[in-house]
Amino acid sequence: MKIFTIIFFSLFCSLSAQRTVDAEFLNLHDADHLFADDYGNIYIYRNKDFSFTKYDSLGTQRGKLMFTLPFKIQSVQNPLNIPAFSENAQEIRFYDQNLNERQKLDFSQKFGFIKMAYAEDQQTIWLLEESTKRLLQYNFREDRLINSFPFNIGFEDITDLIVYENTAYILTKNAVTSYNFQTQKLFEIPLANPLKLRRDNGNILVVQQHKVSVIRNDSLKTLLQADEAQIVDKNSASYFEIRGNKLYLYPINN
pLDDT tens-digit profile of 105-150? Answer: 999 999 999 999 999 999 999 999 999 999 999 999 999 999 999 9
Average pLDDT of the segment spanning 45-71: 91
The whole-angstrom separation of Cα 12 and Cα 136 is 44
What pLDDT does 254 receive? 59
Q: Lowest-confidence range among 49-58, 75-84, 173-182, 208-217?
A: 49-58
| pTM, to two decimals | 0.88
Give the amino acid at 164: Y
Arithmetic mean of pLDDT, 149-157: 94
Q: Answer whether 168's CB lies under 8 Å from 161's CB.
A: yes
Assign 4 a pLDDT band (cuts: 50, 70, 90).
Answer: very low
Q: How far apart are CA 192 and CA 181, in angstroms?
A: 27
For 43, how many CA atoms within 13 A lie in the half-sphere containing its CB?
Answer: 28
Beta bridge partners of 248: 5, 241
C-beta of residue 19 within 8 angstroms of C-beta of residue 7: no
